Chains A and B, each alone.
Chain A
Amino acid sequence: MECNGINDIEIIEKVKEGNSAEFEKIITKYSKMIYSIAYRLLRDGEEARDLSQDVFLRAFRFINKYNPEFKLSTWLVRIAYNLYKDRFKTKKLHIVHQISHGDDEEDKKYEERFIDNSPRPDEKVENKMKSEQIINIINRLPANYKMVITLYFWGDHSYEEIADIMEIPVGTVKSRLKRAKNYLLENYSRLLEKWK
Chain B
Amino acid sequence: MNCGEIRDIIIEYNGKIEGAGIKPEVTAEINSHLVSCRKCALARERMLDMSAKIACDKVEIPANLASGIISRVIPAASEPVKPKIKTVGPTEISFIDKIAELFGVSSRNFAFAMSAVVLAALAISLILYNHGLKSGGEAERIANSKGVPANESIIKEPADKKFKKIENEPSKNLTAANNEETEKKFKRSIFTVESGAVANLTGEYKENELYQVKQGEDLVITYKKVAEVIIKTNSKFKVNDEGIILESGMVSVDLKPKSLPGFSVATPESVVEVVGTIFSVASSDNKTEVIVKKGCVKVTDIKTKAFSLVNAGESKTVVSRQAEVKSETAPVVIEYGSSAAHEAAKTIPAGAQVAASSTSEVVHTAETGTVPVGIDGANIKDVINKFKNENITIDK
Contact = CB atoms under 8 A, between A and B. Distances in A.
A57 B47 contact: no
A96 B51 CA distance: 22
Interface string A173-189: 00000100110110011
A49 B12 CA distance: 33
A121 B83 CA distance: 62
Interface stretch (A29-37, A67-75, A83-91, A106-114): A29-37
Nearest to B80: A18
Contacts of B80: 18, 20
Contacts of B88: none
B102 interface: no
Contacts of A53: 68-69, 72-73
Nearest to B15: A185
Interface in A26-81: 27-28, 31-32, 35-36, 39-40, 45, 49, 52-53, 56-57, 60-61, 63-64
Interface stretch (A1-9, A97-105, A130-138, A161-169): A130-138
A135 B68 CA distance: 28
Interface residues of A, number: 42
A122 interface: no
Interface in B24-69: 42-43, 46-47, 49-51, 53-57, 59-62, 65-66, 68-69
A17 interface: yes
Given A35-B59, A56-B69, 10 more contacts: A16-B81, A21-B74, A27-B66, A40-B57, A57-B72, A60-B73, A131-B53, A181-B11, A188-B46, A188-B50
Identify the 9 closest CB pairs spanning chains A and B, nearest first.
A31-B66, A131-B53, A18-B80, A60-B77, A36-B59, A28-B66, A56-B73, A39-B59, A181-B11
Interface of B: 8, 11-12, 14, 42-43, 46-47, 49-51, 53-57, 59-62, 65-66, 68-70, 72-74, 76-78, 80-84
